[in-house]
């Protein structure tokens, strides 16, 4: 099982580069910037417009051990504690120690962060952090990070280029096949990095941009890359949803003092965790769902305690306040109804410390990868930091491998033949998202996962649309991984196995062989 697209390299136009990076978020841009700086000819491909990424939507900030009362050791301990027993210590050490350097690099690139009257960085606190270490820019930190990185990237960037297949033979990647303006084109390179973001967009209710549907992870799976920890999906506790959209209400809002209340106006988080609203995200998410069932009503986020602390919420959270008022809600005067939604994908393509996958020449970075740095539950605001740190490291890993490769792409005679359909159906990507939300969501069980596996298998075997088949195959891998983990840990909660089990204190893996057994 490999291609979902028919192609012949002899019939398609092509371009050749030293390196190809797929994705224009923080991970892809940082990787591209460093590759260009060390002398490689780079082409960066992005599915939508250059600024369309999860990075651009990030509100809260970047966790970094810069305050005088903080240290990489303290940040490391918080990361490990939040990860529910599955954080890889070596990866976490790299994150917290190199993170300080990478944030300084970002500031040198022109990224702006909030400062006090002395010009010193301001820090805020978010869930499960023992100190205030989050640097931020209003409530649109990601937009500022994206701006700074885009302005620093000097290589080629192709917009509206949807990568559909790898150019691969045996266990080696030679480039990618992309649809550019509706026409297939080949991009050859001895080293390729997948930085396409995560798969939370495969859920009906999510905070991701429309482009984040796990494309790169699904492609890597089809071509034989080993995936890791697919069952772990982080659901953000506080989003506002109506019939038209869901949008995130940053954890920084709770960090500044907002509280969660039920329909009776009762603050309830103390019933579930001693850190109240600043408990780890998985705890807060399940507490909201539990309290909703107990009371039979909405859960609300009350901003008003923030202003009692002397903080103007319009100045601190201008984007959120404006958006809520557009929806007819004034957070200065009334609590805001909130609900958990799919937010961040912890699992992904298994990589080493320099982003190498199990396919030669193929790298992965950012949310598309699984470094193990987040364990079973990501510590708030470690995601942008991971993009910066491992974007830099992956560039050097790619450079190292590129130096020893001299490939003659003219000798390649690669073709792709799409996997045949059993029958042709009219399933859409919305059907995949609905199955995932209803059956592989916040609360799972053997019964719900069986339904998901059956339906996703049907969709994957019968839809002729690339996005639908690729999404269904990845969704199927997620559901099977969740079925195999018979416990609850971090972002994975099984109603029929509600506690952690020591025999499952290990990382899971999923490969093309597992998928072929199902189809």
Residues annotated as catalytic (active site), given as ranges:
281
Edge-to-edge strand ranges of the sheet holding 172-180: 14-16, 183-188, 172-180, 161-169
Burial of 332 (0-12, 13-18, 19+ CB in 10 A): middle
Q: How far apart are alpha carbons 116 and 292 in whole angstroms?
A: 40
Other CB atoms closer than 10 Å to residue 515's CB: what's the count? 19
Cβ-proximal residues to 30 (8 Å cutoff; 6+ apart), any chain: 102, 149, 387, 388, 391, 392, 395
For 333-358, the DSSP string reads: TS-EEEEEEEEEE--EEE--TT-B-S
Residues 6+ apart with CB under 8 A from 351: 357, 363, 364, 365, 369, 370, 371
- With a CB cutoff of 8 Å and minimum separation 6, the contacts of 216 are 22, 23, 163, 194, 195, 196, 197, 349, 364, 368
Q: 127 to each of 172, 202, 290, 455, 468, how far by Cα in Å? A: 41, 25, 19, 36, 35
CA angle 450–456–461, rounded 5-degree value: 130
Supply angle C-alpha 114, 117, 120, rounded to 5.
55
Q: Report in angstroms the alpha-carbon separations of 32 from 19, 38, 44, 232.
A: 9, 10, 7, 28
Q: How far is CA 4 from the centre of its chain?
A: 24
Smallest CA-to-CA distance from 218 within 232, 188, 197 is with: 197
SS3 labels along 397-426: HHHHHHHCCCCCHHHCCCEECCCCCCCCEC
Residue 299 to residue 294: CA distance in whole angstroms: 11
- Whether residue 192 contacts residue 171, with contact meaning beta carbons closer than 8 Å, is answered with no
Contacts of 406 (CB under 8 A, 6+ apart): none
């Amino acid at each position: 099982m490999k291609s979902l697209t028919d192609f012949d390299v002899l019939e398609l136009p092509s371009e050749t580069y030293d390196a190809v990076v797929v994705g224009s978020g923080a991970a892809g841009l940082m990787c591209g910037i460093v590759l260009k700086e060390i002398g490689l000819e780079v082409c960066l491909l992005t599915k939508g417009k250059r600024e369309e990424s999860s990075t651009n939507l990030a509100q809260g900030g970047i966790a970094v051990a810069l305050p005088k009362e903080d240290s990489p050791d303290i940040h490391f301990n918080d990361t490990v504690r939040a990860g529910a027993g599955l954080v890889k210590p070596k990866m976490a050490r790299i994150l917290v120690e190199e993170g300080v350097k990478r944030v300084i690099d970002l500031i040198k690139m022109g990224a702006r962060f909030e400062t006090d009257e002395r010009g010193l960085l301001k820090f805020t606190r978010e869930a499960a952090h023992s100190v205030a270490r989050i640097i931020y820019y209003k409530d649109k930190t990601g937009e500022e990070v994206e701006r700074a990185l885009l302005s620093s990237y000097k290589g080629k960037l192709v917009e509206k280029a949807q990568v559909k297949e790898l150019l691969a033979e045996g266990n080696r990647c030679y480039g990618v096949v992309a649809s550019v303006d509706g026409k297939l084109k080949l991009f050859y390179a001895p080293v390729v990095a997948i930085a396409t973001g995560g798969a939370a967009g495969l859920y009906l209710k999510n905070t991701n941009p429309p482009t984040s549907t796990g494309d790169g992870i699904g492609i890597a799976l089809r071509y034989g890359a080993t995936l890791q920890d697919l069952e772990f999906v982080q659901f953000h506790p506080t989003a506002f949803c109506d019939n038209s959209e869901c949008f995130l209400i940053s954890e920084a809002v709770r960090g500044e003092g907002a509280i969660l209340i039920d329909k009776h106006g009762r603050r309830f988080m103390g019933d579930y965790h001693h850190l109240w609203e600043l408990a780890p995200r998985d705890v807060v998410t399940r507490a909201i769902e539990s309290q909703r069932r107990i009371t039979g009503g909405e859960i609300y986020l009350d901003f008003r305690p923030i202003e009692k602390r002397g903080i103007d919420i319009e100045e601190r959270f201008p984007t959120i306040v404006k958006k809520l008022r557009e929806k007819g809600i004034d957070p200065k005067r009334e609590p805001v109804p909130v609900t958990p939604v799919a937010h961040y994908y912890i699992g992904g393509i298994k990589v080493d410390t320099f982003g190498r996958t199990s396919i030669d020449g193929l790298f992965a970075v950012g949310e598309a990868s699984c470094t193990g740095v987040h364990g079973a539950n990501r510590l708030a605001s470690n995601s942008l930091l991971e993009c910066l740190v491992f974007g830099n490291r992956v560039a050097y890993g790619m450079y190292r491998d590129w130096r020893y490769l001299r490939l003659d792409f003219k000798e390649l005679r690669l073709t792709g033949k799409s996997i045949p359909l059993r029958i042709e159906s009219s399933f859409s990507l919305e059907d995949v998202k609905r199955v995932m939300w209803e059956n592989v969501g916040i609360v799972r069980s053997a019964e719900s996962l069986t339904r998901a596996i059956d339906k996703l298998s049907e969709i994957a075997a019968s839809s002729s649309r690339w996005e639908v088949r690729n999404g269904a195959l990845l969704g199927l891998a997620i559901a099977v991984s969740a079925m195999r983990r018979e416990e609850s840990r971090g972002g994975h909660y099984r109603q029929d196995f509600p506690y952690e089990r020591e025999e499952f204190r290990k990382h899971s893996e999923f490969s093309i062989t597992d998928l072929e057994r199902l189809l």
